[in-house]
């Protein structure tokens, strides 16, 4: 079967799940956020510590854009200043000093987050290394070493890497070294399958950005289970559970509460501050939508994940190709902005 036809067949078999709604937990007096926490591990998608204290998620994720936003706030300036002070007048200079300082800022934010959340924090590798296996390996090892020097066990850290072929290969090696990875900027089943075959710890499929692309391309709104971003995560979740993959699925990048509630039961969901607030202020019953046992009854053909198949199937998916590239560019741009500020500060 032609690769493009195979991918479409798999998606057709994977996505119909709305009829398999599971009974809601006892919801008397509980907000939707509290109900969701009974079905799914809730993760804070923010660099803001007060948000984490307010909503008490299990884990937290960061990325260059979130750290750039947080670093502009007066209450977090001391972390930036600490990293700068550690490098000012040191043996490194210019871009090397800025790179090392930026790494330190990421770790300092992570250390503060780990004082709040009981679980894990994701710290992202520079997006400019998205096509550099050796560079990603070196950065991942350095970040873990920095955390361990601060007394943090590597089990509490996820190294965040872009879901390019090179990123997945680097993550596969890091996983074998006991460094758990979160594969981000993931927009397609073939990326997810390659990550699972590489035995990465966790993936972050981007619901909202998929929705954005289809909304613009087709000039229409999507809601509920028909939302292409929701359908993508359902497809990946069912594929993993059917074929026994242990890689965790964490839906990310949400645009509205409906996308979140349609994925109740997913392994994890990482949610922004505004949507956490909406969930916390709503008390309607929340039903479980995804279920590992139900996935066992689906007809889910396997798809290939070798390099040639990966590159071709990803290329066949215009949305995934465009959004992966766009995401890398945006994260790289925000890293450059933060790096520029650091360069000015260290002189």
Q: Is position 13 within any domain?
A: no
Structure tokens at 167: 């990123």
In total, how many domains does the chain have?
A: 1
pTM above threshold 0.75: yes
Given the residues 96, 115, 139, 160, select the one marked as catalytic: 160
Q: Is position 7 within any domain?
A: no
pLDDT digits (tens, 9 = 90+) for 273-288: 999 999 999 999 999 9
Q: Is position 17 within any domain?
A: no
Q: Is position 23 within any domain?
A: no
Q: Which residues of 156-167 are buried (b: 16+ CB within 10 A; e: fewer)?
A: bbbbbbbbbbbb
- 160 classed as catalytic: yes
Closest to 41 (Cα-Cα) out of 109, 117, 114 = 117
Q: Which CATH number covers residue 213?
A: 3.20.20.70
Q: Domain of 204?
A: 28-346
Q: Is position 18 within any domain?
A: no
Which pLDDT tens digits describe the chain residue by residue (347 residues)?
444 444 444 444 454 443 344 444 455 689 999 999 999 999 999 888 998 999 999 999 888 888 888 888 888 888 988 998 988 878 888 888 889 999 999 999 999 999 999 999 999 999 999 999 999 999 999 999 999 999 999 999 999 999 999 999 999 999 999 999 999 999 999 999 999 999 999 999 999 999 999 999 999 999 999 999 999 999 999 999 999 999 999 999 999 999 999 999 999 999 999 999 999 999 999 999 999 999 999 999 999 999 999 999 999 999 999 999 999 999 999 999 988 888 888 87
Angle subtended by helix axes 77-87 and 94-114, to nearest 10: 140
Q: Is position 318 within any domain?
A: yes
Q: Is position 14 within any domain?
A: no
Q: Is position 70 within any domain?
A: yes
């Amino acid at each position: 079967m032609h690769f493009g036809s195979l991918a479409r067949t798999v998606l057709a078999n994977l996505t119909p799940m709305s009829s398999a709604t599971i009974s809601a937990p006892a919801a008397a007096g509980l907000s939707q956020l509290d109900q969701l926490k009974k079905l799914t591990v809730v993760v804070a998608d923010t660099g803001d510590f007060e948000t984490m204290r307010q909503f008490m998620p299990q884990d937290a994720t960061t990325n260059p854009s979130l750290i750039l936003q947080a670093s502009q706030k007066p209450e977090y300036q001391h972390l930036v200043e600490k990293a700068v002070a550690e490098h000012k007048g040191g043996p490194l200079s210019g871009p090397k000093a800025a790179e090392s300082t930026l790494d330190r800022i990421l770790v300092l934010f992570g250390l503060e987050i780990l004082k709040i959340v009981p679980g894990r924090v994701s710290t992202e590798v520079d997006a400019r290394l998205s096509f550099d296996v050796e560079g990603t390996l070196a950065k991942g090892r350095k970040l873990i070493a920095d955390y361990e020097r601060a007394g943090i066990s590597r089990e509490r850290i996820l190294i965040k890497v872009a879901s390019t072929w090179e990123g997945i290969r680097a993550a596969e090696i890091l996983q074998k070294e006991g460094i758990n990875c979160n594969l981000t900027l993931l927009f397609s089943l073939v990326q997810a399958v390659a990550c699972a075959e590489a035995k990465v710890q966790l993936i972050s499929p981007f619901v909202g950005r998929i929705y954005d692309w289809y909304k613009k391309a087709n000039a229409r709104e999507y809601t509920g289970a028909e939302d292409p971003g929701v359908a993508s995560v359902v497809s990946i979740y069912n594929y993993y559970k059917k074929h026994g993959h242990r890689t965790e699925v964490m839906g990310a990048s949400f645009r509205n509460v409906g996308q979140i509630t349609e994925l109740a039961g997913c392994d994890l969901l990482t949610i922004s501050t505004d949507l956490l607030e909406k969930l916390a202020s709503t008390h309607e019953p929340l039903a479980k939508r995804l279920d590992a046992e139900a996935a066992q009854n689906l007809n889910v053909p396997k798809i290939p994940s070798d390099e040639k198949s990966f590159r071709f199937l990803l290329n066949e998916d215009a949305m995934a190709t465009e959004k992966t590239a766009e995401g890398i560019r945006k994260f790289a741009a925000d890293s450059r902005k933060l790096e520029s500020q650091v360069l000015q500060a260290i002189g």
